[in-house]
Amino acid sequence: MEDKQVIEKKVNNVLEQIRPYLQADGGDIKFLNLTDDLTVNVELMGACGSCPYSVMTLKNGVEEAMKKAIPEIKSVESVQVQ
């Protein structure tokens, strides 16, 4: 398996490509961490944090793009940061 740091760098690259689309709708996404079982934890911010479609955006948009670019990734999960 690839080094975790290498995968994290790829994750950030994918998020950089997705970010402009989220920002166009008043939202944003922040990478939090990569778990040992290769789940990407992110925080949806701005309009994305309260949007009723955010789960759909996360799973159908962000997660699909992530898995396509980095097949090792198991899932992308939104985490509420206090």
Q: Which two tokens stand for residue 5?
A: 């740091």
State how far the Cα of 55 lies from the Cα of 49, in Å rounded to an integer. Answer: 10
pLDDT, tens digit (0-9, with 9 covering 90-100), for 1-13: 579 999 999 999 9
Domains parsed from the chain with CATH numbers? 4-78 (3.30.300.130)
pLDDT, tens digit (0-9, with 9 covering 90-100), for 12-62: 999 999 999 999 989 999 999 999 999 999 999 998 888 888 888 899 999
Pick from 78, 50, 45, 38: nearest CA to 62: 78
User: What is the pLDDT at residue 1?
Assistant: 58
The predicted model scores a pTM of 0.90
